[in-house]
Structure 1
Amino acid sequence: MTQFFEPYMKPEFISWLFLNLGKIIGILIGARILIQLGRGMIERLFAQSMRSRLFGEAKRLETLKVLSLSIVTYGIYFMVILMVLGVLGVNTASIIASAGIVGLAVGFGAQSLVKDVITGFFMIFENYFTVGDYIQAAGVGGIVEEMGLRTTTIRDWAGELHIIPNSQITIVTNFSRGKSRALVDVRISYKEDIDRAIEVLQKEADQVAKEFKETIVEAPRVLGVQDLGSSEVLIRVIAFTQALEQWPLERELRKRLKGALDQAGIEIPSPAAKVVY
């Protein structure tokens, strides 16, 4: 046992150990300082951009900030590992060369992964959508819960969670940008006075506009006769709301317009069943 530890008890080894240990501690301290400086610079840059809206909306800036912090942190960690290995006498040049060869081989086998990452980066940078937006992408519609470099997570109205590789997102329809259209079609009987029905509908629509003025961008308007059906006249009503507020307004309009027609004695036709004897 004494012979086993004897080489490690020599003054030369102890001197080498303490010297290299000091270098490693110095590298770790330097890395810690670099990480703090890098994080501070990124925080200040994005705080300034947030105030000036230089790069876009707040949610996109937050996503880019987290991504930048991760890149800086892991880049410094990688350099620290190489420097520590160099202090310990490991040939880091061969490791880097080997990593390049392995990376090339992996690259050929992981082209879809690379495509996911590149697509994800440009989606975030060019602000296609952000967390909380309601979008339609890759045949799925719902609220964006998470977006990363490789995948985007969308939860639909049924509560189902869809994890989509970014490379599969080729066309995005974003319903959370700008105003949204609310559309309601009302059917009345052919025997009713169309002008009177339009007047009743517009009066009720104006009342709805007053009550929902915080979410309505353009007040509901009765456009007129949209279609002549087999047993009914179709009258169309439209309005424009803030993003994602069109559906609550449509439900309210249907309820209120139906009540207004009932109160005015205007008939809403029901499908007639034909009995064959």
Structure 2
Amino acid sequence: MDGFTDLTSISKKIFYFFSKSIDLDAIVQKIISIIFISIIMYFSIRIGNKLIKKFVDRQVASKTSFSLEPQKALTIGEVLKSVLKYTVYIIGIGSMLYDILAKIPVALASAGGFAIGLGAQSLVKDLINGFFVLFEDQYGVGDHVTIGQFSGIVESIGIRTTVLRDFTGDLHLIPNGSVLEVTNHSRGDIRFIVDVQIAYEENIDAAIEVIKKTSTLFEEKHQDKLRSEIDVLGVLSLNASGVTIRVVGRSEPLSQWEMERELRKDIKIALDEAGIEIPYPKTAIINKE
């Protein structure tokens, strides 16, 4: 019984010590403050994003001479959303930590600040390079670009990262500080190439004439996407089983693959109708008797 009494006494002393050391009212007050600041941060971002979206939609729909181009408006909208998010996070989290940091000794706070400064070097590099990307208009939302080893469509540009989706559907988040070389495939017309093979037994001039007529009809059908006349260059190479004829055209960005597929199909149909054979593996059986 004496042991149980001693254990109870010790428990009471421990509870008394912690109840004196910990200010429960202050803790509850800080928790309420953190929840309140978090709610304000959430609604600030939601409301800000809606206002930015309205601004972008208005710029895209506007036809006045002072309005931004649709692509520029989308790019600026994504950047403004990124700036809003980081600003709200920095102010909100800074407000939450203010009371805690105020009670930390000066030496410890200085050491912590030095460590944070070292860790923030990459962040500062991302921010600075992000602003250069925007000011120099290296690429915008919707552009087909190659950044390092990644190639795809730019989905968004932030002050810290660029979001790129490749043609397999994978999403790449690239820090702006690592953007050293950029190839923009969406500035200007894009060349597409269609190589057609015909058998050695066929008349080359006749085949070229058929391809030229087909290309003229193709231009009329796809004039909204083509940016120049389709040029039939002529014989490109003499292969093991046939002759290669090269056809070249220019189209608007991101439509070059569609133009290649459609033109290749039309040329195949036209050659079949003209009786011009495309080479394929053949087996010859020779009977010496």
Structures share fold, TM-score greater than 0.5: yes
Q: SS state of the match for residue 178, structure 1? A: coil
Q: Which residue of 2 aligns with 1:233?
A: 243
Q: How does 1:3-18 map to 2 (within 5 A)?
A: none
Cα separation, 2, equivalents of 1:255 and 1:72: 54
Q: How far does the alpha carbon of each residue in 1:222-245 deviate from its partner, in whole angstroms, 9 at most, with x for none?
A: 111112222211111111111111
Which of 123, 128, 140 lines up with 2:150 in the alignment?
140
Q: 1:69 Cα deviation (Å)?
A: 5.4
* Count of aligned pairs between the two proteins: 231
| TM-score of the two chains, using structure 1 as the length reference | 0.67
Q: 1:274 Cα deviation (Å)?
A: 10
Partner letter of residue 138 of structure 1? G
Give ranges in structure 2 of 5+ residues lacking alignment.
Answer: 1-43
Q: How does 1:61-100 map to 2 (within 5 A)?
A: 61-66=76-81
Which of 64, 73, 88 lines up with 1:58 in the alignment?
73
Q: Which residue of 2 aligns with 1:164?
A: 174
Q: 1:68 Cα deviation (Å)?
A: 5.8
Cα separation, 1, equivalents of 2:166 and 2:230: 28
Cα separation, 1, equivalents of 2:88 and 2:169: 35
Cα separation, 1, equivalents of 2:130 and 2:108: 28
Q: How far does the alpha carbon of each residue in 1:202-239 deviate from its partner, in whole angstroms, 9 at most, with x for none?
A: 10011011011111111212111112222211111111
Partner letter of residue 258 of structure 1? K
* 1:155 partnered with 2:165: yes
Cα separation, 1, equivalents of 2:219 and 2:196: 18
Q: SS state of the match for residue 219, structure 1? A: coil
Distance 1:50 1:127, change over 3 A: farther
| TM-score of the two chains, using structure 2 as the length reference | 0.65
Distance 1:61 1:109, change over 3 A: closer
Q: Which residue of 2 aligns with 1:270?
A: 280
Q: Say whether the 8 Å CA contact 2:75–2:157 is kept in structure 1.
A: no
* 1:210 partnered with 2:225: no
Q: How far does the alpha carbon of each residue in 1:33-53 deviate from its partner, in whole angstroms, 9 at most, with x for none?
A: xxx9xx99xx7xx97998265
Distance 1:151 1:263, change over 3 A: same
Q: SS state of the match for residue 268, structure 1? A: coil
Q: Which residue of 2 aligns with 1:125?
A: 135
Q: How far does the alpha carbon of each residue in 1:165-196 deviate from its partner, in whole angstroms, 9 at most, with x for none?
A: 22222211112222111211111112211111
Which of 246, 250, 255 lines up with 2:260 in the alignment?
250
Q: Which residue of 2 aligns with 1:16?
A: none
Q: 1:155 Cα deviation (Å)?
A: 1.4
Q: Say whether the 8 Å CA contact 1:185–1:237 is kept in structure 2.
A: yes
Cα separation, 2, equivalents of 1:264 and 1:106: 74
Q: Which residue of 2 aligns with 1:176?
A: 186
Q: 1:117 Cα deviation (Å)?
A: 2.3
Cα separation, 2, equivalents of 1:130 and 1:207: 35
Q: How far does the alpha carbon of each residue in 1:17-59 deviate from its partner, in whole angstroms, 9 at most, with x for none?
A: xxxxxxxxxxxxxxx9xxx9xx99xx7xx979982659x9333
Deviates more, 1:231-240 or 1:116-125: 116-125
Q: SS state of the match for residue 156, structure 2? A: strand
Q: Say whether the 8 Å CA contact 1:200–1:261 is kept in structure 2.
A: yes
Cα separation, 1, equivalents of 2:250 and 2:121: 44
Q: Say whether the 8 Å CA contact 2:193–2:248 is kept in structure 1.
A: yes
Q: 1:249 Cα deviation (Å)?
A: 0.7
Q: Which residue of 2 aligns with 1:6?
A: none
Distance 1:113 1:71, change over 3 A: closer
Q: 1:255 Cα deviation (Å)?
A: 0.4
Distance 1:157 1:75, change over 3 A: closer
Q: SS state of the match for residue 124, structure 1? A: helix
Q: Which residue of 1 aligns with 2:195?
A: 185
Cα separation, 1, equivalents of 2:230 and 2:160: 42
Distance 1:214 1:105, change over 3 A: same
Give ranges in structure 1 of 5+ residues lacking alignment.
Answer: 1-31
Q: Say whether the 8 Å CA contact 1:107–1:114 is kept in structure 2.
A: no
Identity among equivalent positions (%) equals 41
Cα separation, 1, equivalents of 2:284 and 2:117: 67
